[in-house]
Amino acid sequence: MVKIKTLEFIDEKLYLIDQRKLPEKVEIFLCETYKDVDFAIKDMVVRGAPAIGVSGVYGVVLGAKEFKHLDKETFLDKMEVVLNILNKSRPTAVNLMWGITKMKELIEKNKEKSTEEIYVLLKEEGDRIKEEDIDINRKMARYGNTLVPEEAIILTHCNAGALATVDYGTALGVIREAHYSNKNIFVYADETRPRLQGGKLTSWELLQEGIPSKVISDSAAATLIRDKKIDLILVGADRIATNGDTANKIGTFMLSVVAKTYNVPFYIVAPTSTIDFNIETGKDIVIEERNSEEITYIEGIRVMPEGVQVYNPAFDVTPEENITAIITEKGIIRPPFKENILKLK
């Protein structure tokens, strides 16, 4: 089995598995500057809310490394630019903003120290957040596994695995845990148009783990749910409002509607850092719209006519009433979501 290392920070450089190249080949994308990290997040070299968050944190570290030779005032001005650029790399994944805010607060708290000392503190914080992410994923997996019955048939959407985190995964972490518990599970993975993260990435992870699975087109999911061939649905999240509304990869909302119609449990698996306590409902979540070529081209080949108009939102919002429970590292949150989510603040 190939050990998946989504990201590593070694010798003052950030190494990312280039998820644009999977599954055909495993390549490492090297980030030596904060601008490299900004590009990697925007171009989806790295994706998945937790992995984006940790990458952004290390982008701040690389910025500090680049500017620590400058005088204090200039260093602080430059770091403000770094923080702002990285904070805007992608608009929906709140883990990115959460991580950048942590680093900004650390700089502010220690601005009387030398630039070298601030750099060291930022590096230590980045390492702490990285290790914390792994621990959080394993805790979520254990909580989530209590909801998975023996011989369960599970449906998942997009990629919420080790590739979307530092290691182990959110929704796919629960699936891993159920597999390791010898529950004899089976997984259907939506291909997840337009970038095919399910077909390319989730299927690759499932094969690496030897978990029995099949990839389906997104439009086949409703038929499987209607025909009672799905026992539960596990998906990740990029942002959760305080009322429980959840932004995730486009197509998630559609799944939740069908699941509710046919009484199939629909679970969100996400760390508490994905909860945005500053917004009340999903209406406040900014949905990223991406380049039309993600739809009009597949692997560099145009599949639609020139001049066609395209709408390409990266995410949609699942309303809280369609969600059975939210699995976090602090436990399983059930309705009423707002009341129970605010207890975690």
Q: Which residues are bridge partners to 297 per DSSP?
A: 302
Residue 250 corresponds to which tokens in the numbers above?
Answer: 């486009």
What confidence score (pLDDT) does residue 4 get?
A: 58
Cα angle 292, 18, 144; round to 5: 90
Residues 104-114 have a mean pLDDT of: 97
State the maximum Cα–Cα separation within the chain, in Å, rounded to a whole number.
67
The pLDDT tens digits of the residues spanning 128-145 come to 999 999 999 999 999 999
Cα–Cα distance for residue pair 116/341, rounded to 1 Å: 39
Place of tokens 């699942």: 318
Answering whether pTM is above 0.75, one says yes
The pLDDT tens digits of the residues spanning 28-65 come to 999 999 999 999 999 999 999 899 999 999 999 999 99
Can you list the domains of the chain with their CATH numbers?
A: 7-137 (1.20.120.420), 139-342 (3.40.50.10470)
Numbered residues of the known binding site for substrate: 47-49, 90, 197, 248-249
Cα–Cα distance for residue pair 125/132, rounded to 1 Å: 10
**Active-site option among 18, 36, 238, 245:** 238
Share of residues in the chain with pLDDT > 70 (%):
99
3-state secondary structure of 24: coil
Q: Is the peptide bond before 149 cis (omega within 30 degrees of 0)?
A: no
Residues 149-174 have a mean pLDDT of: 96
What confidence score (pLDDT) does residue 271 get?
A: 95
The sign of the dihedral angle between the CA atoms of 179, 93, 5, 11 is negative
According to DSSP, the β-strands at 266-269 and 232-235 are parallel
Share of residues in the chain with pLDDT > 90 (%):
96
Residues 315-322 have a mean pLDDT of: 98
The pLDDT tens digits of the residues spanning 162-174 come to 999 999 999 999 9
Cα–Cα distance for residue pair 217/199, rounded to 1 Å: 9
**What mean pLDDT, rounded, does the chain reach?**
96
Residue 111 corresponds to which tokens in the numbers above?
Answer: 């601005």
Q: How confident is the model at residue 2 (pLDDT cuts 50, 70, 90)?
A: very low
38 has catalytic annotation: no
